[in-house]
Structures are given as C-alpha cells and as structure tokens.
Amino acid sequence: MNVATQAMEPLSEVDRPSRFSFKQLLPSPEHLWVVFRRNLRLFIGVVAVSLALILLRVATLTPSYSATASVLLQPRPSQIINVRSVVPDMAVNSDVVDTEVRMLTSMTLARRVYDVLNARKLGVRVPRFDRKLSAEEIKVRDEAAQGLLEMISVRRSGLTFVIDITAYSADPQKAADIANTFAREYVNEQMRDKVDATSSARRWLGTRMNQLRADAALADAKLQRFKIANGLMSANGATMAEQETSSLNQQIASARAELAEKQGRLAAARAQIQIGGAGADVAQALDSGTITSLRQREADASRRLAEMTSKYGMLHPDIRDARNELNDAKAQIQSEINRIISRLQAEVATASSRLNSLTASQERAQLALASNGRAQVGLLELQRTADAARQIYEVFLSRSKETAAQEGLQHADARVSALSSIPENPIFPNNKLVLLFAPLGALALGGSAVLLAEYLQVGVRTKSQVEERLGIRYAGAIPDLASTLGRQRNSQAPQDYILDHQQSTFAEAFRSLKAYVQLSRREPKLAVAITSALPREGKTTTAVCLARVAALGGAKVLLVDCDFRRHGSSSLLGLERNALSDFLNGMPLEEAVHMDEPTGLAVLGNPASSQDGGEQVISDQIASLIPMLKSEYDFIVIDTAPVLGIADARAIAVAADAVLLAVQWGKTPPSAAEAAIEILNDARARLAGVALTRVDITKYASTGTEDVYGHQKRFAEYYRN
C-alpha cells in the first residue's frame, strides 16, 4: 500500500491511540489546562456573575447578631444547719444536664422572659407574674414566647456542666438582653420553685401538725381515762397492783424466813432442855447478861460451899446458908431460862401471825392483779395508739421546725457563670468569611461551569477527537472569519475577504487544506468533493473559498455546484445562468463556465431558478464527465449536498478523487459524522479526511494542542489579517 492510498483510508486499530491505556484513566494536566483555556470566557463570566450576585445578596441581607450567656449547673449544699431540704439538690450528671437544656427551651420559661422584657420595655421594674390575663393577652404572650424560643439556641458546652444560651437578633442590644434574661430567669425560676415548694411544705406541715397534736392529745386522754377506770395507774413503770404484789411477795418471803429462824431457835432450846440440861446451854441463855451474873453467883456459891465443906464439914451451920445460896442461884437461872423459852414461843407465834396476814393480803392483791391483766389488753391497744400518734406528731413537729429554719437558706442548683455583652460585629453575614469564601465559591462555580460545558458539548472539537472518535484522518480546520480578526471589524463575506487578505489566517487555512488534499493523493490533477453530514455546516463556504484560494495560487481551478437543492455556491457567487445544465446539454465547456474575474476561477453554476427535478440524471452525468473536466483543469472543487439526506451526493462523492467531509466545530453531533463516514466508506468513496469548519480560534487550543491553532499566537507575525 502506497502513501497516497494509506492517507485516504480510515485509521486502523494499530494507528489509533489506545483507548484503554492507564494514562487515560485520569485526565492529563495539559488536557485540563486546554479545557480551561478553551472555556476561559465562560469561566470569567461565571466568576464575575457569581461574585456580583454574592455581593449583591450580602449587601441586601439583614445582619444578625448573636449573644451568648452561660449557666453553670453546680449544686451548693448549705452547711449552716444540718437539716434535710424539702427540694433535694440536683445530682448533676449528663442526663440531668440534657434535661436542663430542654427546660431552658420550655414555654413556661419563655413566658417569664417575655414578661420581664415587656416590663422592662414599659419601664416597670418588677413584672407581675401573678396578674390575670385576658384570652387575647394570653395569645399575644404565647406567640411572643414562641418567637423568643425561635431566636435562641441552647446547647451544652462539650462534656462540661456549662449550658450556653445564644440569642440571635438583628438588634445587638436585643440579642444580649434576650440571652441574659433567659439565663437569669432560669436561675430565678429554680430559686422560686424551691422557695415555693418549701413554703408550701411548711404551710402543709403546720396544718397537719395541728391536727396531729389534737389526735395525740385525744389518744392520751383516752388512755388515762381507761387507766383510772380500770385501776391501772402506775408509777415507775408498774401499776399499783403490780407494785403491791411485788412488795407483799418480798414481805412474805422475809416473814417466812423470820418465822423459820424463830421456830428453829425455839426448837433448838427445847431440844437442849429435853437432853437433860437445865437450859443453861441455850443460846439465848448464854447471850443473857442476867444469866451470866447468876451463873457467876452460882459459881461463887458452889466454890464457897466446897471450901466450907472441906474445911468445916457437912454439919457446919454456914454450909447450909451456902447451900441455900447455891440453890437460890440455880432457881433464878432456871426461872430466867424458862422466861427465855416463853419469849421464843411468843416470837414464833407473832411471826406466824404476821405471815398469815401477809399471805391473806397477797391473795387479795393477786385477785386485783388478775383483774388488771384482763384490762391490760385494752390498755395496750390504747397505749399503742397514743404512742403512734405522739411519734407521728413529734416527727412532723421536728420536720416543721427544720422546714421553717431552712426557708431562708434556699439556693438554686445553677448560677449564671457569664453574661453576654452587646455584640459589636454581626455573625451573619460574616464579611470576613464572605471576602474569603466568595472568590473561592465563584472560582468553584466557574470551574464547575467549565466542566459542565465541556461535558455537555456534543460536537467534535479537536484533532484527537476526530481521529479517536471518528477513526478518520484530520484534514485541518477552517476558522470562523470573525475569530481571526480579533478587534477588527469586517463587513466582507468570507469568500470576498480572502481576495483582499491573501496572507491572512483565514486564507492560509484553505491553502493548508488544499495542500493536505494534494499530498494525500499525489496526483497532478485532482477532483475534490466537499460534502457534510448535515446542512449549514460551512460546506459551501469551504468549497468556494478553497476554489478561490487555489485559483489565486495560479492553478486552473473549476468549481462545480452540485448541490441541486440549496445551490449554495451559485448563490454566494451571484450566478444567474445555469451553466452546468447548458454544459450537460452540449454547450462547449469554455462557453458554459462563468469566470470569476478577481481570481480567474471557472465556475459551473447551478442557480435555484433552474431546478427541474432532474438532479439524479445530472449527478450521474457529472460523475461520468469528471475525467473530461480533469483534462482541462488542474484542480476541481465539487460542492455537493449533505451526504446523510441527499442520495445523489454519494454518487458524486464516489466519482471524485478525494472527498473532504466538513464537520462544524463543536456543533455537528459525532453520531451524524460517524454515520456520514460509514455511508461514504460503504460507497467506497475515497475519503481524504475531516475538516473542522467555523472554528473559534480565539479559544485556546480550540482544535487541540497538536493542531496549528494550538500555537497560533507564535505565528501571528506570519499573517496579515
């Protein structure tokens, strides 16, 4: 396969860049830069509009100020007196803190805050919380309280026991007042609740205590009446019957012991007398002083009698006196012993009589005690009732005293840890953040607009897209005339502009296109068909300008208008004679052609007035006459109809030496271009390549960095626009 043949065939899979290489998974920085530069105007416009809208919005926003007051949950139990509180101190934990956060946003507290703020507004120092409100006033207050709740934000500060109350308002003074009033009224509300609860408890305890005192007194009275009625009066914890019985028991025991003792002494004395003694050995006798002196007398008499008997004999007269004295002493001792025995008997009789009397009294006391025992059941019941009433009364009395002492010692479980000052700068809009993030946001929107525009563009734009997507050679790009002039004004049509500006960028594009076609075929004479997939893609302008540029180069050039429906080339050049029809009807070629005086271009026109419905016949004849036309002209440009909609354009394209497919830059859908290429390939037309038309070369790398327009600024001095 030679070079010319290879140039006219579609790219093979080997020639095409790989679509699945790793480098293509992510866009290259160069490609991103190209996309950005290509959409620079869109980017700048979006950024400018975004900044303007943001600044306009910020300028029209109502500023909002925030003020924050803090409340610390910190129970402080008082140690002044050791009493239990009516309302126990709060046990601070996470659940309690969360609960208090909710309480700070209650309607009750919001109504209090409204009353305080309203009173302050009216110049009243202390609001009347207890005054009666009408239905209308209640509705107004509830609406205002709900509005206050919508103006605040309550949250816990981290994991601490501090609760931050933040108020938002367009008035900085109002924001501070609301936040501080919520904090103060929350603490005051806690204090009021505790004081009210303590006062209420004290009043209730007082009322209840009076009732309990009366109940206790009544129970005691019943108990005493029952004791009196049943003889259950007691002293030192025992009734009189019990005390009497106890005393009698002790006396009887003592009497019995005494009786036993005296009976024992009497029995011992009698036993000694019965043994044979004269009773002198009786214990009572031995203890008697009289008997002792009598015995001394007896001893003295007995001793004298013995001495006198031994000295004088038994018959001495003094011995009789001595014996009489001895007998008298013995008689007196016996008389005294008898008297002692008699006394012992009397003592036994007295002790026995006393014991009998005590025993009788004990029997009577036991009868009374038994009677008291039967009444004791009722007494115990009354005693329990009286004791219970007394204990309950004493408990209430003690609690009442504690409550009365505690009433002036109440304190809240929270305190205001920080009050808000009047804010100086609004939190919304935050001008510093606006100045910081507005440009960033505008840049982000601009970048997004660029990416969106690039994503939504459906046309073919670059050389790489032509070769990768369409699989065909890239013939070149035809710039839009206005984009080549910059700020210059131009009133000429493109086909006329190239006459006066032969060294312009616009004219150079057609010379490059002619060179590409000629190099792709390497033939001395060439017939080139210019077609497109869809109408209005710049096909006719390309054909006319290409033919004129080629004619200006000194070659013999023929332009044939084969668009039998639109007659584009004939209209651009202002032709009125149907030279193509005359030529096909036998008119000599040199007479049929119209000579373009500025360029020397020969034109076989086909004006709209000559439409007669014989397009297919004419197209078949043109196809057969192309070899004859090549014998007269070096370069033949054939302007055909769009290949997708007009069938006769395919026959003309097949007869041409090379076919250029004109694709409007950024407009023609790739699917339409692919369909046109497929049709031409199926017809075995010699497709030389795709030319992008109406390219806006002011956009950076409009056809890709690999094309000449990716470097156009470097060649600016080579052109004269």
Q: For tokens 């115990």, what's the residue? A: 380
Q: Would you say residue 337 has pLDDT above 50?
A: yes
Q: Measured between alpha carbons, how far is 163 from 156 in angstroms, rounded to an integer?
A: 5
The secondary structure of residue 533, as a DSSP letter, is: S
Of residues 625 and 90, more confidently modeled:
625
Query: pTM of this prediction?
Result: 0.53
Report the pLDDT value the prediction gives residue 621, as an integer from 0 to 100: 74
- Say which residue, 16 or 636, is predicted with more confidence: 636
pLDDT band at 3 (very low <50, low <70, confident <90, very high): very low
Name which residue leads in pLDDT, 87 or 540.
Answer: 540
User: Is a pLDDT exceeding 60 seen at residue 82?
Assistant: no
Q: How many angstroms separate the CA atoms of 563 and 611, rounded?
A: 11
pLDDT at 128: 66
Which token pair is 477?
């790009």
11/698: higher pLDDT: 698
Tell me the mean pLDDT in the region 421-430.
Answer: 84
Q: Which residues contact 690 (CB under 8 A, 6 or more apart)?
A: 460, 466, 470, 472, 473, 474, 475, 660, 661, 662, 663, 673, 677
The pLDDT of residue 14: 39
67-71, 280-284, 601-605: least confident range:
280-284
**In degrees, to the nearest 5, what angle opens at C-alpha 379 toward C-alphas 378 and 383?**
120
Q: What is the pLDDT of residue 4?
A: 38
Q: Residues 109-113: what's their mean pLDDT?
A: 89
Residue 246 has pLDDT above 90, yes or no: no
Say whether pLDDT at 459 is over 60.
Answer: yes
Domain boundaries, the chain: 3-18+457-718
* Residue predicted with more confidence, 279 or 507: 507
The pLDDT, as a whole number, for residue 275 is: 61
> For position 20, what pLDDT does the model report?
47
Q: Which of 557, 553, 632, 544 is nearest to 602 (CA)?
A: 557
Query: How does DSSP classify residue 18?
Result: P
Q: What DSSP character marks residue 707?
A: S
Give the 3-state secondary structure of residue 473. Answer: coil
Cβ neighbours of residue 151 under 8 Å, at least 6 residues apart? 167, 168, 169, 175, 178
Contact 197, 410 (CB under 8 A): no
Read off the pLDDT of each residue in 309-325 and give the average, rounded to a whole number: 74
* Domain 3-18+457-718 listed as CATH 3.40.50.11540: no
Decide if 414 contacts 187 (C-beta within 8 A): yes
Q: Are 110 and 165 in contact (CB under 8 A)?
A: no
Q: What is the pLDDT of residue 2?
A: 38
Structure tokens at 474: 């890239």
- Give me the mean pLDDT over the 151-173 stretch: 90
SS3 691: strand
Average pLDDT over residues 93-98: 79
Please state, rounded to an integer, the average pLDDT across all residues of the chain: 80
Express each pLDDT in 492-549 by its tens digit. 889 899 998 888 889 999 999 999 999 888 888 899 999 999 999 999 999 999 999 9
Other residues' Cβ atoms within 10 Å of the Cβ of residue 524? 9
The model's confidence at residue 5, banded by pLDDT at 50, 70 and 90, is very low
The rounded distance, in Å, linking the Cα atoms of 312 and 296 is 24
Q: How far is CA 88 from CA 76, 163, 198, 397, 421, in A?
A: 11, 21, 11, 20, 34
158 Rama sector, left if φ>0, alpha if ψ -120 to 50, beta otherwise: left
Residue 79 has pLDDT above 50, yes or no: no
Can you tell me the distance from the alpha carbon of 144 to that of 151, in angstroms, rounded to the nearest whole number? 11
* pLDDT for the residue 121: 78
